[in-house]
Chain A
């Protein structure tokens, strides 16, 4: 990065030419709090002349005011950029820093050490080629060292540097370093971390960071920067088949139809045969465009636009692949999930899953086990809490093109998104497709929902009654069904209490069981809609997320949410079944409204305020809505007597 002040114009051109063709290494620094990650990066930036004079002035000023190193420069302050971080002296979020040497360019992600910010560490690690794991020589291997090493191994980072830091504080003792190296290699072997380079350093004193230190003559390996400059770079195109998720279809006019995307692996030349998945159609590459320039060949990590010789159907989310070596397509997988949100992952709950350029619904079930990252034990679990890592089954609403994560970060890595808050709540790595998805086929049937419904002169739908226990859901649903039945409609009432006596008698009242309870009822209701029935579901169904899941199982106009709105005080005063009294006495756990939340619908199709409406009036309002919505005929019930013959 150093250029002499006497450099001539020719020198500049040569310098630029050299700089333009450098390779890029992305790495992270991780490890426990106070192991000196930020100090190490500050040292690298300083020594590679990446800290400018005005930043140095700010740093000197900050070091005096809030630094933790007395009169010396506190390099950590260069990277801890958020006000909250500087105040607390900790790293909350990942910071990206840039430096370059004569040999290479580097992007370094400084990741937080606190367990609560693991998700930010994962963010930094997901794009890294190498991980520098720091250890405080005085403390040795800690829980966070193991957690971060485990994440590094999971995410498939090929190169690991164990930097045993603060060697100055242990008198540069060889045996301290050797003990830590032995401990770490023992743990690393158990998590399949292979290529590990151990380096004794002092970030603060500068030993073995940029240059080899004379204070540790017993160490014969490279200094950290030397190693970073020489570690081999990944080549995603070498030896791997071509894959490109289609990100965007470019159709400026009738004459041009191009498929834009970032090549995930392999390379492609015009004239190559390709297959489109999941459809399986084949074609040949006509042209490859980089911007508006046509190029003969494109390789992994390039963003290009391809045109094909045939007019075939290709849309966003499809994957273009080498015709002779297509990847798999499936909708059931085993995957490792890293949970990154305060609200736990519940077995059976549905999330959005984004993989490549495709987003689908995904249900996690079953959670096979959770990993104790310290002992590597497998623990039984029905949910994954913040920062838990677990191995799970996962089922998608439609098939996706995939490769195992170990083979492809692009086709094997996914994120989970909460459908209600839109937060990114989990990250996942696909391992393999479950055989079941290849063997269980959807049976196409000739008699369909429409045919069945026509026979009974009604539009099938779900009337989903939700509300507190004792709100009057079942009373109202019962009145509605009586009326519909009297009019000759085909109906069924799924009642919470009744279903729990049979289909769901194995479920309790924890959050996970409530999710599964609703999932089963929703699926049964969905089958009944398919059978042409008007289905009434009378369940407390306290969580918005599950009601939304139920809604998404059927067509838009087939789901009618009926909010039976009663204040907790009124329901408790009524207490027909005496359940509130029991819950108040602590004899009933997880009782909705008492020690388990009820999330009221925000925009129900029907809102019944039981403080204003008697059950009969409420039922009439529901029937009126069904007429208006065209679910039942407005003029007559009566077994279709007036229908044209």
Chain B
């Protein structure tokens, strides 16, 4: 038999990580953000536990500003695999009228970070899988695969446990929980490649198609429905666009593109000269901002 190629090795490593958590933790959950990384992570979980179903629920943090197509995709995916799906929204944030375009950083904190913490506390999950990759961002590049959080969900980057070979120490102190990143060693290209080779379903928003957009501060925002306030100067155009990364629609910029098939998307990605998260405003304030967010409990 031929030597394993790198995608086979990455797949095997991720499956090993998923199984180790199920074997050693009491109440795991999978953070399911509906994006391409979550799609791959879910596929790996289905493979890890087949013919059984993955023995944990999916958790999605809904902000109320999610793309409609993402929510449809989410519900269809959970139904197709017969998986338990938990959806949590920070209701305090909703009541306080927190809006993505008017509350900036506070929005991300309340509707993503705080919402995630609420959900983990409410259900008492002791381990949560996330689709984060080390190639995404500098502080992620430093993070362990099994990353511990204090009872306050804080990450202490200066005091991470050694992590040797494929031996993961999953023992927690009271109140601690673990964020586990099975895709730590995957790159963006690996994820696309895997989706391509294994026909992993993804949200259609990743593929180009004519969509209604407005221009805001150099970004193209999709007019997903009438919740996006439009000013007199806003002009809705229909352009062929797609998304490199998916978050809340008022914060996620679209790219003009004609890449309407996976190979074309991959081609575009290979030729692209700007990194993935640039499309997301959330990650964009200051060099150490992701590290700070992570310390506060952001995934």
Q: What residues of chain A have their CB less than 8 Å away from a CB belonging to chain B?
A: 1, 3, 5, 7, 9, 12-13, 15-16, 19-24, 52-55, 58, 62, 78-84, 86, 92-98, 100, 105, 107, 119-120, 122-123, 126-127, 233, 235, 237, 247-248, 250-252, 256, 258, 260-262, 267, 289-292, 297, 299, 301-303, 305, 316, 340, 352, 354-355, 357, 409-410, 413-415, 417, 421-424, 427
Contacts and interface: CB of A to CB of B under 8 A. Distances in A.
A3 B270 contact: yes
Contact of A3 (B140, B157, B197, B271): B271
Contacts of B171: 352, 417, 422
A639 B189 CA distance: 79
B187 interface: yes
Interface in B230-279: 263-264, 266-267, 270-275, 278
B266 to A, nearest CB: 6
Given A24-B6, A252-B52, A354-B169, A16 B287 contact: no
A49 to B, nearest CB: 9
Given A54-B275, A262-B12, A262-B13, 12 more contacts: A13-B263, A20-B193, A96-B142, A105-B6, A122-B164, A126-B165, A252-B52, A258-B51, A289-B51, A291-B47, A301-B4, A301-B12
B219 interface: no
A127 B287 CA distance: 29
B198 to A, nearest CB: 9
A-B pairs with lowest CB-CB distance, top 8: A81-B138, A291-B47, A252-B52, A24-B6, A303-B15, A52-B275, A422-B171, A292-B50
B16 interface: yes
Contacts of B203: none
Interface string B1-21: 101111111011101100110
Q: Which has the most chain A C-beta neighbours within 10 Å: B6, B49, B193? A: B6
Given A413-B167, A417-B169, A86 B135 contact: no
B141 A95 contact: yes
Contacts of A340: 162
B48 A303 contact: yes
Interface in B68-120: none
Interface of B: 1, 3-9, 11-13, 15-16, 19-20, 22-23, 46-53, 134-135, 137-142, 144, 157-158, 160-167, 169, 171-173, 184-185, 187, 189, 193, 196-197, 263-264, 266-267, 270-275, 278, 287-288, 291-292
Contacts of A260: 19, 48-49
20 contacts: A1-B270, A7-B267, A16-B263, A19-B189, A23-B6, A79-B138, A81-B138, A81-B142, A95-B141, A123-B163, A126-B164, A250-B52, A262-B13, A292-B47, A340-B162, A352-B171, A354-B169, A413-B165, A424-B161, A424-B163
B287 A62 contact: yes
Given A250-B52, A301-B9, A303-B11, A16 B46 contact: no
Nearest to A83: B288
B1 A16 contact: no
A289 B164 CA distance: 27
Contacts of A126: 164-165
Contacts of A62: 287
Nearest to A357: B23
Nearest to A82: B157
B47 A290 contact: yes
Contacts of A258: 51
B197 A9 contact: no
Given A262-B166, A410-B166, A415-B167, A92 B158 contact: yes
A289 B52 CA distance: 12
Contacts of B134: 96-98
B196 A16 contact: yes
B267 A421 contact: no
Nearest to A234: B3
A120 B23 contact: no
Given A81-B291, A86-B288, A409 B165 contact: yes
Contacts of A96: 134, 141-142, 184-185
A95 B291 CA distance: 14
A427 to B, nearest CB: 5
A82 B294 CA distance: 11
Contacts of A414: 167
Contacts of B184: 96
Contacts of A297: 1
Contact of B158 (A84, A302, A427): A84
A24 B9 contact: yes
Nearest to A416: B169
A54 B23 contact: no
Contact of B263 (A9, A93, A424): A9
A291 B46 contact: yes
B133 to A, nearest CB: 9
Contacts of A1: 270
B88 to A, nearest CB: 28
